[in-house]
Structure 1
Amino acid sequence: MQRNEGTGTSNNARDAGSFSVDRRSYLKLAGSAAGAAGLLSGTAAAAVERRGIRFNKTVNMVRDAGCDPNGNEPCDAEIRNAADDYTLLKFPPGEYKLTEKNYIGDKTNVGFVGEGDVRFTVPSNLNEKVLVVDDGTGLLFENIDLDLRASGATPGLHFGASDNLEIHDIEYIGQGIHPNSDPRGEGDGNPQVTNAFSPIVRSEDGNGTITNVVAKNDGRMGAYNSGDGRVGVWIGISHKGTIRLRNCQFEGFPNNGLYCSRTGGVVQVEGGVFRNNDITQVRLSSDGSYVEDAIISADLDNSDSPNPEDTLNTRGVRFEAGRFGFGGAQVRDCDISIVSTTNSNGAVVVGSDGADHTVKNSRISVEEDGIRGFYAAAPTGYGSRDPPPEPHTATVVDTSITGGSNGVEAIRIDQRDDSVVADCCINQTGTDRDGVKMYNSPSNVVKNSTIDVPGQQVLSPGCRVTTRNLSASGSCPVPNKAAGDSLPRELSIVSNSGRFRYQLTVSGDLGKSTARGATIDPNDTISGSTATGQGGDGGVDSYGFSGEITQMDVDGDVTVYLDDEVIPQDKYLGNVLSFYGTGSSAEYTFSVSGELSGYEGLNGPDTISGSSATGSVSSGRDRYAFAGEVTDISADGDVDIYLNGNEVTSAELLPNVLEFDGQGQYTSYEFSVSGNLTGYRGINGPDRINGLSASGGVGSGRDIYAFSGEITNIELSGAINVYLNDELIRTGSDHTLKIDGKGSYTTYEFSVSGELDGYKAINGADDIDGSSATGNVGTGRDIYTMGGNIERASLNNRAQIDIDRSAGTISVRGTGDYVSYRLVVSGDIYPERGIGYGDEISGNRASGVVTTGVDTYRYTGDIVEATMDEDVSLTVSR
């Protein structure tokens, strides 16, 4: 049960799986029905069901298919080869390079799932649908991001199925700007640029569900490219079923955010944010289609595009169907606003090739001059296109239109018989602004509405309009219209008396908000993630943001609200950490990376020293304000911990995560760290924590630990993948090569057949060059990770051990001192020459002594150990 710190109430949001912690990217799936912990924990042969789609086989794309999770080698062929009927492709955390268009067709129940922080990367200037999966049935794509930060890259994703299309949790990372696209079509550019996302349901009875797809494209405005510019979502005539787009976000596309009007299939947009796209934010047409409960906005003052001043037309919603004649789509319960723009012909627009459409129970605001809240053009067709089929009615009901726009009308409807404006509220504060104008549109009605405008309430040139029950004054509901209204957290600065000034910085996105009745003041400026502003007596400035507040300075008598909670200015530092007692005494200690202060409830046993605190709580709560991040924490006893109002565990707050991912064969491990250590997930029977060390074993599952400080030692007995903070640091095919100094100075050199990297204690005296290394040890230990086998090696102390894999020999050369040695291999070892008294072979081991001369052995397999007296040892372990 999660406690809401601001109100003292509780809810089950975290129990339902909606809670996540940014630094735990492998919990990214926590919001889904199954949750990250339950994702495909069975064997590759076990049948699983995900999002209603059944898979009989799973493929680990690293272990089984051979993809490179570090993004160095292409993964195109591996994906194409692994995708098959009833097969789920699992991608462990990492980056996977795609370099070309990959087509996978005619598959039944094929899935692609990222397990943690997974992204596809592309090379510079790639302008292709990088993954096309179509012409089958049953398709899942979930929790895999598309990274388009390579210069000039404009990749897209294309997913089609006759039924059971399930697409979830995708983020497009970066800006999709084709290098040859020109604003407003100037110059020699205007290439056809790949659309970001193309979903299709090909059967009339088929369904598709798309949730949490985010693309903040922030592209080049004016690059409509005569219709060939980059689109956010394209759904065209091939779509015949029903697609639901839920809680998606598309921003900054030069050729429509959602372009879903040229289809006879159904497109239902539920929730989400669609902002600052050129041409239109959301474009629909067909019967049964709608956009509902969405935030739709043109606010170019808060655009991250490189050239918002070149925008062509920032309409909110547009209804049109080209030459196809579809009609019947609706806008329902939406917040639509034109806050700041260079060009727009309306917040909601019905094109000349649009048939009948409806807007209801929505809130529309227009602040720029000469722009209508609703405009239905005459249904005459466009260019050579025929007029759309009847009916042509435009219906606007239960809708408010507000704002300070000057000129023209709030609503205009041309040549559309039987249109209705009813139960609406129009309040226009600009000058020379009329209410409703119906041109040459007989049999139309305007009724039961408030129309408070400086001009005329209703105009009807060329026709007679029935009006009844109209009021000339009243207040109207206003939309959430600012950039910050769609962001998850809220900060408001409210004047108590007199003027105030402030500056604040956040770690994520930042935008102005209308929360607590705030107005959007152009004198308040945002630069990146920093806002600087001022307000007058009784004024309110509000912001929406993501992440954390990292700095806030306020001058004046104000009340500051953070997520509906009052925050004392003299104590607030960006974050609040709270410890709630549950009845019995519990002790805690923690450290943070920035400033730390007491916030509430601190008494006798609670102390702060610099950026660290210790305390105890039995009932009530101890609360601290701090800047930065929690760097260390431990709690002994029964205590509930909250960070910024969200319940967390000490494991979730520790800065590092170490994960042991079993590869099917039982492998034991042990490790030590320099800070606090706790189990996080999967810790059971054989797994033990003893102070700063832990030991355990894993087969096909995962053991996950959280800790602070650094890893001081790690030992593995077999094949296993090890991740540190989602980064793969040891693969199942890696060996660990350790050179232990026993006290006297020893030099060494070696080369391996695979990749080589330093792991611990590799310093200035040690050097890695490709797959070779040189160095020295005295009393310490140098540790490397290596792929493949030792090809050559040499240890030099009072004797010299030389290993030559190509010759299949190990030689121990005496230099005059009496030195004992021990050799262990994974295969066989037998004498070659110089073997005599005191030398012995037993199985895969050899031991002996040298003073002068050379003892030489032949061997098969791999080197496991080479030890020289008490001077030095070289060991290799998996």
Structure 2
Amino acid sequence: MAVLGALAGCPGTDGPDTETPSSPDETPRTEPTETGRDRPRTDAYENVVDITEAGADANGEESIVPTLDEIDTSNTLVRFPSGTYFIDDSWSPSGAERLGLYGPDATITTVEEFEGPLFGLGTGSKVSDLYVGGFTFDLTPEDTGPRPINARVTDSMRVENVTVRGELDLDQDGMRFDVTETDGHGTIWNLRMPDGGDPEYSNTGCYVGESHVGELLFQNCSFDGFPDNGLYASSAKGRVNVVGGQYRNSGVANIRVSGPSTVRGVMVRCDEAREGVENMRGIRLRGGKDVVVENSRLVFDKVSSSDGAITCAEWLDAATIRNTHITVNADDVPAIWAKPSARNRADVRKHPIRIHSVRIDGSASSGAAVRISERSGTLLSNLCICQHGNERNGIAVDGAHQTTVRGSSITVSGRPLATEGISVRRDNLSLQSTSTGRSSCSCPQNR
């Protein structure tokens, strides 16, 4: 990945950081390949039903809910041929131990001011094995924005190639997914919600709730322009892994997780400041421990407001941020902010917050590239910080005792290390403060 190449030439590095090793707890256990996607396994079901042969209208004129209600959904795959299907009420099948819904060329429409969900799968009765693939939900008419899918499974869930078109302009969140047993797992692949939500409402693109206790992987997904989080998964008790994908211009956080979770290889960009979309964080680490952000790219060009591209919230116990490239051009926005701890963390690992092999660049003025606030024992290593905006500090440490900064290069217009009277352990550092903020930077150019 380009991030690793960009960091390799950074002066002042001291090799791999043995304090932040990879471990099984920091790696998603489920990263499926693309083989076999776009189609379900028909031989896995006892029954395969063509919904139009069952009587459903494929022209979008008559509701298909009565037809769905008549289908025996136990161990059944329901095929939706090419067409438009109208849903005017929630469909929550009963007796669906194994259920598949497949519509690669199917478009779902609905009525105005209906909050949904359109598909309530496992919400009224137990579903142990669920597949949903290929649908487009057309929510482009005004006052249209129901929850398209609310899916809760006990064992296995696959949701693939689903698209939501149109801005959600009702007081309702978007998707919701939960795996409700500890040994269950699910994959959400290529879920696209590019049109966001109306800032009049505090709606979320996708929510993973408190009943999620298994493992859920979001891979190659995209969320754009939601007022209250793009992917909101910090309430989940189980593991949520986010791998790849594009996350843009959402308020509160584009990605919000708690531990144990991993965010890997994502692209987060904020370049549009809409009124009503506030505190545009990139990745918010809300709570728990064993949270990892790695191999990711974040770009902050323009925001309505933001307290950081990556933030460690007060309730977070421990996290590792590594091998990541952050560009901040928005003034007074930190690339990383570890906020004060809300409780005593004496039982957490030696370095609760570890920031390793991170490159930070851009033209942001004022504030600091990295803020460490009352997070004692923080370890920062192999960093390359180059920010040429006026009065920009490098690493600001406030009330965080036993902080270590080593093997790093910092070139800023303000103070490379602003320690506010705190003793910071330093080793093998290259520090440069430029009066104009416009001199050449020691960090290598983007690759």
CA contact (8 A) 2:196 2:223 kept: no
Matches within 5 A, 1:18-97: 33-34=35-36, 48-49=42-43, 54-63=44-53, 65-97=54-86
Shift of 1:460: 2.0
| Structure 2, unpaired ranges of 5+ | 1-32, 432-440
Shift of 1:387: 6.8
Indicate the residue corresponding to 1:407 in structure 2.
366
Cα deviation 1:393-440 (Å, max 9, x = unaligned): 221111101110001110011111211110111001101111111211
Change over 3 Å in CA distance of 1:90–1:412 after alignment to 2 = same
Indicate the residue corresponding to 1:140 in structure 2.
131
Indicate the residue corresponding to 1:129 in structure 2.
117
Matches within 5 A, 1:497-646: none
1:250 & 1:265 partners in 2: Cα distance? Answer: 22
Aligned residue type for 2:45: F
Given candidates 376, 380, 398, the residue that maps to 1:421 is: 380
Cα deviation 1:200-223 (Å, max 9, x = unaligned): 1111111101101000133223x4
1:94 & 1:319 partners in 2: Cα distance? Answer: 41
CA contact (8 A) 2:228 2:277 kept: no
2:36 & 2:211 partners in 1: Cα distance? Answer: 32
Change over 3 Å in CA distance of 1:234–1:66 after alignment to 2 = same
1:32 & 1:313 partners in 2: Cα distance? Answer: 35
CA contact (8 A) 2:369 2:394 kept: yes
Indicate the residue corresponding to 1:367 in structure 2.
329
Aligned residue type for 1:208: G
Aligned residue type for 1:141: V
Does residue 1:333 correspond to 2:277, yes or no? Answer: no
Indicate the residue corresponding to 1:236 in structure 2.
209
Does residue 1:451 correspond to 2:407, yes or no? Answer: no
Aligned residue type for 1:56: E
1:404 & 1:127 partners in 2: Cα distance? Answer: 43
Q: Secondary structure at the residue paired with 2:268?
A: strand
Indicate the residue corresponding to 1:854 in structure 2.
none
1:376 & 1:83 partners in 2: Cα distance? Answer: 52
Shift of 1:470: 0.8
Change over 3 Å in CA distance of 1:131–1:389 after alignment to 2 = farther
2:396 & 2:384 partners in 1: Cα distance? Answer: 15
Q: Secondary structure at the residue paired with 1:205?
A: coil
Indicate the residue corresponding to 1:592 in structure 2.
none
Shift of 1:241: 0.7
1:111 & 1:442 partners in 2: Cα distance? Answer: 54
Shift of 1:309: 3.4
1:82 & 1:32 partners in 2: Cα distance? Answer: 31
Matches within 5 A, 1:708-727: none
Change over 3 Å in CA distance of 1:421–1:476 after alignment to 2 = farther
Indicate the residue corresponding to 2:242 in structure 1.
269
Q: Secondary structure at the residue paired with 2:150?
A: strand
Aligned residue type for 1:450: S
Q: Secondary structure at the residue paired with 1:159?
A: strand
Indicate the residue corresponding to 1:216 in structure 2.
194
1:147 & 1:389 partners in 2: Cα distance? Answer: 51
**TM-score, normalised to structure 1's length?**
0.44
Aligned residue type for 2:75: Y
Change over 3 Å in CA distance of 1:389–1:58 after alignment to 2 = farther
CA contact (8 A) 2:86 2:110 kept: yes
Q: Secondary structure at the residue paired with 2:332?
A: coil
Change over 3 Å in CA distance of 1:35–1:399 after alignment to 2 = closer
Given candidates 183, 201, 213, the residue that maps to 2:179 is: 201
Matches within 5 A, 1:642-661: none
Q: Secondary structure at the residue paired with 1:119?
A: strand
1:450 & 1:88 partners in 2: Cα distance? Answer: 57
Structure number with higher strand proportion: 1
Q: Secondary structure at the residue paired with 2:67?
A: helix
Does residue 1:158 correspond to 2:124, yes or no? Answer: no
CA contact (8 A) 2:179 2:213 kept: yes
Indicate the residue corresponding to 1:498 in structure 2.
none
1:262 & 1:205 partners in 2: Cα distance? Answer: 18
Shift of 1:35: 7.1
2:299 & 2:401 partners in 1: Cα distance? Answer: 30
CA contact (8 A) 1:426 1:476 kept: no
Indicate the residue corresponding to 2:396 in structure 1.
437
CA contact (8 A) 1:352 1:387 kept: no
Q: Secondary structure at the residue paired with 2:70?
A: helix
Shift of 1:124: 1.1
Cα deviation 1:244-276 (Å, max 9, x = unaligned): 111000001111001111122111111000001
Q: Secondary structure at the residue paired with 2:162?
A: strand
CA contact (8 A) 1:354 1:388 kept: no
CA contact (8 A) 1:58 1:87 kept: yes
Does residue 1:463 correspond to 2:422, yes or no? Answer: yes
1:66 & 1:389 partners in 2: Cα distance? Answer: 64
CA contact (8 A) 1:57 1:86 kept: yes
CA contact (8 A) 2:196 2:205 kept: no
Indicate the residue corresponding to 2:102 in structure 1.
113
Q: Secondary structure at the residue paired with 1:103?
A: coil
1:293 & 1:415 partners in 2: Cα distance? Answer: 29
Equivalent pairs, count: 400
Shift of 1:477: 6.0
Given candidates 300, 308, 311, the residue that maps to 2:272 is: 300
- Highest Rg: 1 or 2? 1
Cα deviation 1:18-53 (Å, max 9, x = unaligned): xxxxxxxxxxxxx964477xx68xxxxxx934xxxx
Q: Provide the identity percentage.
A: 24
Aligned residue type for 2:163: E
CA contact (8 A) 1:126 1:153 kept: yes
Q: Secondary structure at the residue paired with 1:77?
A: helix
Change over 3 Å in CA distance of 1:142–1:387 after alignment to 2 = farther
Shift of 1:103: 1.5
Cα deviation 1:755-785 (Å, max 9, x = unaligned): xxxxxxxxxxxxxxxxxxxxxxxxxxxxxxx
1:394 & 1:89 partners in 2: Cα distance? Answer: 48
1:109 & 1:462 partners in 2: Cα distance? Answer: 62
**TM-score, normalised to structure 2's length?**
0.85
Matches within 5 A, 1:677-692: none
2:183 & 2:159 partners in 1: Cα distance? Answer: 18
CA contact (8 A) 1:299 1:338 kept: yes
1:59 & 1:412 partners in 2: Cα distance? Answer: 57
Cα deviation 1:786-845 (Å, max 9, x = unaligned): xxxxxxxxxxxxxxxxxxxxxxxxxxxxxxxxxxxxxxxxxxxxxxxxxxxxxxxxxxxx
1:411 & 1:79 partners in 2: Cα distance? Answer: 54
Aligned residue type for 1:276: N
Indicate the residue corresponding to 1:710 in structure 2.
none
1:414 & 1:106 partners in 2: Cα distance? Answer: 52
1:119 & 1:196 partners in 2: Cα distance? Answer: 17
1:270 & 1:144 partners in 2: Cα distance? Answer: 22
Indicate the residue corresponding to 1:149 in structure 2.
140
Aligned residue type for 1:85: S
Indicate the residue corresponding to 1:501 in structure 2.
none
Change over 3 Å in CA distance of 1:218–1:35 after alignment to 2 = closer
Matches within 5 A, 1:813-824: none
